[in-house]
Amino acid sequence: MTHPHRRPALLATVPVAVAALLTAADPALAAGPVGSSGVGDPYFPLAGNGGYHVDHYDLTLRYDPGSRHLDGQAVLTARATQRLTRFDLDLHGLKVTGLTVDRARAEHRSDGQELVITPRRALRKGQQFRITVTYSGTPGPVTDPDGSLDGWIPTDDGAFVAAEPQGAMTWFPANNHPTDKSSYDFTITVPEGRTAVANGVLLGRRTEAGKTTFRWRQAEPMAAYLATATIGKFQVEQFTTRDGIKVYNAVDPREATAAAPVLEQLPSVLEWESRLFGPYPFRAAGSIVDRAPQVGYALETQTRPVYDRAPRLSTLVHESAHQWFGDSVSLTSWKDIWLNEGFAVYTEWLYAEQHGGDSARQTFDGLYALPASDPVWAFPPGDPGSGAHIFGTPVYARGAMTLHALRTAVGDHAFFRILRAWASEHRHGNGTTAQFERLAERLSGKELSRLFQTWLYARGKPNQP
């Protein structure tokens, strides 16, 4: 994965005399190349960090829902993409009690969400290294630019953990941007009677002295915001689908009656989506249905979406579609969020169309009938303008309308080939809107710049659907 926005290492570009001045201002710069404090995302400039990639996170957590205290240890296996005398992790609101780089104690300090680390010796470009962080505190969510909460959100019996776009750093030290995808191991200890549900496959559970430890493994690459460690009193159900996918459902008993008929549909929804988009990208699946009324949304946490209440079927279809679009094929920049939400909403329209509901054309026409003053036309979905708008109506509805306009222009055959190629060519990776536009033109043989310009970038209600 390349990072077109990444800032170059500072000293490489500054003349010697200026470097001397900077040295006086910031002694850390004197030592040499420093990893940048963000990957250059225009909406979240401090998200992620420059100078390295994380291959694997090994997270060991111990949570007490009564006191809301968390003890954590994170072991990150990383690789330097440049020489590094200093680099950052993202960590918010928790106290670091120990930190080593390749087993040597490393100097560190917190500066807002940046955990600034100075390893004892500089890391060479290409060097693999291991960061061990021990930390603790009382985690809580961050408030996003749109006012919503994300991250570690305490509930009456545990915690609802959903971290889009920013909140991964509220519960583990992370390179917190979707351009850096990693495998994960989780070892989570909670009081006996509570269940801790993370991503991927359950490797084992063990109860000892009134505490139960759950071990989970997410083998396929995952963006930090899609990790979960949701804790509560849950009813658990496990089975394997006809396609060999391991399903693990965890349901708050207070939501169980309402959730059952919807969760039951998961295998058939995944089969239907696999026919449209290509093979389901993960070896595990499932649902976490919590009771977390303060949250107000569901999230497509990888392999196992988390719902703040019993979901509707359309929501289960939506979060399942994100497993292909968002989770396997991830954003390169938050500005491109329509690549997640437009695709997930359009999947809802297709589901209705193929299951006796409205056709996608009817849904499109219903939206297109809304007056120019309607919020759906408030901004163009390909350019939401700031992090405050990434979950706005135009991203979801007009994002889906963009796909319908594409389908109308290229025909069903080319359209579904484009969706499948998008999923397969960027599987377990990242994509950009520009790459999607090029793919659509390549596979359809049509010039589509006007279509994308109109639906993704033009202000106000587009003319001529």
Q: Which residues bind Zn ion (CB under 5 A)?
A: 341, 344
* Three-class HEC string of 304-316: CCEECCCCCHHHH
Q: Which is nearer to ligand TRP, 341 or 437 (CB)?
A: 341
Q: Phi-psi bin for 71: left (phi > 0), alpha (psi -120 to 50), beta? A: beta
Which residues, 127 to 146, sit near ligand TRP by CB under 6 A?
146
Segment 359-418, which members bind ligand TRP (CB under 6 A)? 391
Q: Which is nearer to Zn ion, 144 or 341 (CB)?
A: 341
Q: Residue 34 Cβ, how far from Zn ion at the closest point, in Å?
A: 36
Sign of CA dihedral 207, 208, 211, 217: negative
Q: Which of the listed partners (ligand TRP, Zn ion, none) does 335 bind, with a CB threshold of 5 to 8 Å by partner kind?
A: none
Token pair in block for residue 298 = 């569901």
Binding to ligand TRP (CB under 6 A) within 8-27 occurs at none
DSSP strands (E only) in 138-180: 142-143, 149-154, 159-162
Judged by beta carbon, residue 110 or residue 148, the one nearer ligand TRP is 148
Q: Report how far residue 247's alpha carbon sits from residue 226's, in angstroms, rounded to the nearest whole number.
A: 17
Should residue 148 be labelled a site residue for ligand TRP when binding is judged by CB under 6 A? yes
d(CA 465, CA 461): 10
Output the smallest distance, CB 321 to Zn ion, in A: 8
CA angle 431, 434, 438 (to 5 degrees): 100
Nearest distance from C-beta of residue 327 to ligand TRP, angstroms: 11
| Cα-based angle 103, 107, 108 (whole degrees, multiple of 5) | 110
Residue 288, CB half-sphere, CA atoms under 13 Å: how many?
31
Q: Which residues contact 351 (CB under 8 A, 6 or more apart)?
A: 269, 272, 314, 317, 357
Which residue from 169, 223, 299, 440 is in contact with ligand TRP, where contact means CB under 6 A?
299
Q: How far is the CB of 160 from Zn ion (least distance, A)?
A: 17
Are 124 and 83 spatial neighbours (Cβ–Cβ below 8 Å)? yes
What is the C-alpha to C-alpha distance for residues 74 and 76, in angstroms, rounded to an integer? 6
C-alpha 103/C-alpha 200 separation (Å) is: 29
Residue 279: half-sphere exposure toward Cβ, Cα within 13 Å: 12
Of 123 and 395, CB closest to ligand TRP: 395
Q: Which of residues 192-231 bind ligand TRP (CB under 6 A)?
A: none
Cβ(391)–Cβ(298) below 8 Å: no
Total residues interacting with ligand TRP, rule: CB under 6 A: 12
Helix-helix angle 399-425:433-444, to 10 degrees:
80
User: Between 153 and 423, whose beta carbon lies closer to ligand TRP?
Assistant: 153
Cβ 420 to ligand TRP shortest distance, Å:
22
How far apart, in whole angstroms, are the C-alpha atoms of residue 314 and residue 310?
12
Q: How far is the CB of 325 from ligand TRP (least distance, A)?
A: 11
Query: Site map for ligand TRP, 239-258, x if CB under 6 A?
Result: --------------------
Q: For residues 37 and 315, which CB has a smaller minimum distance to Zn ion in the complex?
A: 315
Answer with the entry of Zn ion, ligand TRP, none that 129 interacts with (C-beta below 5 to 8 A by kind): none
**What is the residue type of 208?**
E
Tell me whether residue 29 or residue 142 sits nearer to ligand TRP (CB atom): 142
In this complex, which beta carbon is closest to Zn ion, that of residue 113 or of residue 323?
323
Q: Which does 255 bind (CB under 5 to 8 A by kind): Zn ion, ligand TRP, none?
A: none
**Where does 228-365 show beta strands of DSSP type E?**
230-232, 235-240, 246-251, 284-289, 306-307, 329-331
Among 297, 420, 421, 429, binds ligand TRP (CB under 6 A): 297
Contact partner at residue 290 from ligand TRP, Zn ion, none, CB < 5 to 8 Å by partner kind = none
Q: Write out the binding residues for ligand TRP, residues 305-364 only, by CB under 6 A.
A: 318-319, 341
- Contact partner at residue 148 from Zn ion, ligand TRP, none, CB < 5 to 8 Å by partner kind: ligand TRP
Q: Closest distance between ligand TRP and the C-beta of residue 341, in Å?
A: 6
Q: Give the C-alpha distances (Å, rounded to integers) separating 312 from 114, 287, 359.
A: 38, 13, 19
The nearest distance, CB 156 to Zn ion, in angstroms, is 26
- Shortest CB 382 distance to ligand TRP, Å: 17
Residue nearest to Zn ion (CB): 344
Site of interaction with ligand TRP (CB under 6 A) = 146, 148, 150, 164, 297-300, 318-319, 341, 391
